[in-house]
Amino acid sequence: MKTRRIVFSALIAALYAALTYFLAPISYGPIQFRVSEIMVLLVLLDPFYIGGLTLGCFLANLLGPYGMMDIVVGTLATFISLVLMSYTMRFIKKQSLATVIASLWPTIINGVMIGYMLYYVVQAPLALTMFQVGLGEFVVVTLVGVPLFSYLKKSGILKGITSNYKVS
């Protein structure tokens, strides 16, 4: 079972990076809709996938247009968001509420950290850039991702991804 989870984490990393590269025109910059970010919701099934999702972000940022700054700051922002999402699921008992609240962490963390990074790297207006990055995260993760994630859970499609899987 452990080997299966490790392999699945590697697949998550590869899929995250591939989706980001494939959709590069909308995946990087002050106005971004990184579709691969929907996958961060997998951490709500099992915190084990924090590693694969963080690695996927790292790989996606390796070839991104912002160099080392994005590799470090972008990957760290994703890691922090994932940890906070995982903790949110532990402390809020009502699953549907916890899912929505957890989905807001990437909006907040990436909005601030990536917004500030873009301000520093390309001299983008700070407040506007934070808002734009946060809005992109909110649209992808919360508005699109949460309903999709809920549907996939209820339909049983995500069953077997984790030993901790529960339909709520």
Residue 108 contacts by C-beta under 8 Å, 6 or more apart in sequence? Answer: 134
The answer to whether position 166 is within a domain reads no
Tell me the per-residue pLDDT of 128-166, one tens digit each, with 9 for 90 and over: 999 999 999 999 999 999 999 999 989 888 876 655 544
Domain housing 121: 2-155
The answer to whether position 163 is within a domain reads no
Tell me the per-residue pLDDT of 43-55, one tens digit each, with 9 for 90 and over: 999 999 999 999 9
The answer to whether position 164 is within a domain reads no
The answer to whether position 22 is within a domain reads yes
| pTM over 0.85, yes/no | yes
CATH of the domain at 137: 1.10.1760
pLDDT for position 160: 66
The domain tally of the chain equals 1
Cβ atoms of 162 and 52 closer than 8 Å: no
Type of residue numbered 164: N
